[in-house]
Structure 1
Amino acid sequence: MSETTSTIDRIRALPKVSLHDHLDGGLRPATIVEIAAANGHRLPTTDPEELRAWFRDAADSGTLVRYLETFDHTIAVMQDRESLARVATEAVLDLAADGVVYGELRYAPEQHLQQGLTLDEVVVAVEEGMRRGEQLAAEAGTPIKVGTLVTAMRHADRGMEIAELALRHRDAGVVGFDIAGAELGFPPSNHLAAFDRLHGDDFPVTIHAGEADGLASIADALHTCGAERIGHGVRIVEDVQLGEGTDAHGLPNATLGRLATWVRDRGIVLELCPSSNVQTGAATSVADHPITVLKDLGFSISVNTDNRLMSGTSLSREFALLVDEAGWDLADVERATITALSASFLPFPDRLALASDVIRPAYASALSASA
């Protein structure tokens, strides 16, 4: 079944939690055009709607490497303090308008130094923009809380430097650390010293793994580097052998390997991104995306957008696609939302308040109305 407007509207009205959203992957096309005109960066087109379509088409290549090339244009317009703050503010407002009540936005400060900013100046500019976005969203009646994940590029050699940067700004909005970029050939353990430093200072870590590389990457992230969550992790399904039918508990008949068993039984949350995974070749379609069978097998899954601009998507759209094409219902949406909130790097009292005061009452009302 194709996506329907009514499904999106229904889900957009519900509170949601976003754990995996790249700041440089969610810019407004009109903003890109405006900043590029001011700084002299050449774009494929200067028409905002044509540019929106270009990003989506360029990302529909089926490979992660080609997908990542689209970021040359977004990063090019995020090189000064004012532009970084503006992009951050708009990202928060866009998430809030989509019904996201808590989000974690990630970005790599080392990619924003081309016009002379220091790493610390980059972080300060982004945090100022985030707080402004929260303020404007609250004034608009769509309150949202946002934390940032400072990311190191896995192919570079700045992991420790970026880890120290994250720690310096941990009380100003930075809530966690990540590594991102080309996965194959650049294992998480290349940055082991940085992860050890962060663990020693009780700082949360999530790691991109199991997207463009397989089980060894996930195991390295978990067992060697101590990740609390896995960014993507879709290829954990390579350690799951599906059988026919269901078992006595109604679960799909399946044999799990040791790593898949570890991930499921310990509740390691996977930051799954259905549309993005289809674009990069990690899944064939949203209908057949492993997220549904992983959900049914008892894995702890969250639903995410990855890069809203490149995928032409929103969190509401991702959930709507799962409802319309993969057979999800509102109870599944609520369960994934609570799972994401529980795995977030938001302090426990804040998580508890969001769950009890905002999320559960909204879904209880929606489920009652649909009964």
Structure 2
Amino acid sequence: MSIDPTGDRAVQGKSLRDLPKVSLHDHLDGALRPATIVELADEIGLDVPETNPAALGEWFATQSNSGSLVEYLKTFDLTTAVMQTKEGLTRVAREFVEDLADDGVIYGEVRWAPEQHLARGLTLEETVEAVQRGIEEGEDAADRAGRSIRVGQLITAMRHTDRSLEIAKLAVDFRGRGAVGFDIAGPEAGFPASNHRAAFDFLAEKMFPVTVHAGEADGVASIRSALIDGRALRLGHGVRIAEDLELVNREGDEVQVQFGDLARWVRDREIPLELSPSSNLQTGAIAAWGTEMVDHPFDLLYQLGFSVTVNVDNRTMSATSLTSELSLLVDAFGYDLDDLEAFQFNAAAGAFLPVEEREELVEIIAEGFDA
């Protein structure tokens, strides 16, 4: 799969790229510029599959289009390898924010796992500080370019290791210093949220918000564990909540669906689904429904009233942008500006921010879409 990373187009006379957007599910180690990877690898003497940035970008897209989350995750060995120094982390974070601003994002949350960046002697605290430095530099650069953006960190633990409580404490320690929430990521099947109950108990006691990767490489049971054991306020992907829906009858465009208890709970309580259309195709998360964008249950979930949001997951691996993801959805489902605005309102409502700041985001979005 090769997607134009800009993906810009006009919808009802308006540039998708210029519309104000909110990004909730965007991995730092999945969002490196290929040229930056080449340069940082050269500095540390690391071999890369391709030394030409364009060719390296194509390599990522090809490797990631495997239909398997496990294979997809292997591409991160290269990106994390060049993010083991303060300088590397700061540069990657700064460029990440600049790229979001260029994509029309006004608020973003970046998730990344500090425990994966200790190979060259950094402490957990030093990694978070280095990333925060880069975020602030990126925000300042965007401001000078006339684009206002704010980015918060989602401190992430790896679900197949045993450091989640330690990482949860790290996240809380950086509350007010860049960290806005906690996440667990990595191989989902066989590693339920319940394995990390101590960490989630601690976070609940500290009233610290949580999102959990669930419903991507595993099904309804994983989502249930994320909500019950993880107290998740959002679902990372969550696309397989559609497995808890039973098609009862279809007549033309009219679809009758029987809700399972879990699906109804997620829908009725407006728990945001952090859907990532291109990534969901690449990893096989929607294999039960098909292999093309039009097969993605995104539209079914939207039409049924779920709080769907649009995300990139990993910009480098999917060779995409938030603008491009919206464009793909427009092509697949014929969405108009009102639909795209609704997705941004959902994301703003689900952001890990105080209510006053979420309301401000909603106002900015409304003004941007009406301008």
Amino acid at match of 2:144: E
- Comparing 144-153 with 2-11, which one deviates more in the overlay? 2-11
**Of residues 56, 59, 62 in structure 2, which corresponds to 1:54?**
59
Amino acid at match of 2:305: G
1:222 aligns with 2:227: yes
Unaligned runs of 5+ in 1: 366-371
Match of 2:156 in 1: 151
Is 1:73 paired with 2:73? no
List aligned pairs for 1:204-219, cutoff 5 A: 204-219=209-224
Tell whether the 8 Å contact from 1:269 to 1:301 is kept in structure 2 after alignment. Answer: yes
Residue of structure 1 in register with 2:278 after alignment: 275
User: Which residue of 1 is the match for residue 262 of structure 2?
Assistant: 259
Runs of at least 4 residues of structure 1 off by over 4 A? Answer: 2-5
* Between structures 1 and 2, the one with greater helix share: 1
How far residue 324 of structure 1 moved from its aligned partner, in angstroms, is 1.1
Q: How far did residue 86 of structure 1 move?
A: 0.3
Match in the other structure for 1:338: 345
Q: Residue 272 of structure 2 aligns to which amino acid in structure 1? A: V
How far is 1:41 from its partner? 1.1
- Looking at structure 2, the residues matched to 177 and 261 of structure 1 have their Cα atoms a distance apart, in angstroms, of 25
Q: How far 1:243 sits from its partner (Å)? A: 3.6
Q: Does 1:138 align with 2:143?
A: yes
1:174 aligns with 179
Between Structure 1 and Structure 2, how many residues are aligned? 361
Q: Is the 8 A contact 2:200 2:229 kept in 1?
A: no
Tell me what 1:363 maps to: 369
1:328 to 322, 326, 335: 335
What is the alpha-carbon distance in structure 1 between the residues aligned to residue 367 and residue 249 of structure 2?
37
Q: Is contact 2:213–2:237 with CA below 8 Å preserved after alignment?
A: yes
Q: CA RMSD in A?
A: 1.6
SS at match of 2:15: helix
Does 1:294 find its partner at 2:301? Answer: yes
The answer as to whether partners of 2:9 and 2:17 remain within 8 angstroms in 1 is: no
Residue type of the partner of 2:39?
A: E
- The offset of 1:362, in angstroms, is 1.5
Question: In 2, distance between residues paired with 1:104 and 1:110?
Answer: 18
| Structure 1 counterpart of 2:96 | 91
Q: SS of the residue aligned with 1:287?
A: helix
Compute the displacement of 1:364 (Å).
Answer: 2.2
**CA deviation after TM superposition for structure 1 residue 246, in Å:** 6.6
Cα separation, 2, equivalents of 1:111 and 1:175:
19
How far apart are the structure 1 equivalents of 2:355 and 2:124? 29
* Counterpart check, 1:122 vs 2:127: yes
Report the 3-state secondary structure (helix = DSSP H, G, I; strand = E; otherwise coil) of the residue aligned with 2:9.
helix
SS in 2 for 1:241: strand
Contact 1:305 1:318 in 2 (8 A): yes
Superposed displacement of residue 34, structure 1 = 0.1
Is contact 1:189–1:220 with CA below 8 Å preserved after alignment?
yes
Question: What's 2:190 paired with?
Answer: 185
Are 1:194 and 2:205 counterparts? no
1:5: how far off? Answer: 4.8
Change (3 A) 1:174 1:100: same
Report if the CA contact (8 A) 1:234-1:282 is conserved.
yes
SS for the counterpart of 1:62 is coil
Residues 197-253 of structure 1 deviation map (CA, whole Å, 9 limit, x = unaligned): 011011000000010000000000002221000000010111111244479xx9731
Letter in 1 for 2:333: A
Equivalent pair of 1:300/1:339 in contact (CA under 8 Å): yes
Indicate if the aligned counterparts of 1:288 and 1:326 stay in contact, CA closer than 8 A: no
Work out the CA distance in 2 between the residues paired with 1:24 and 1:16.
21
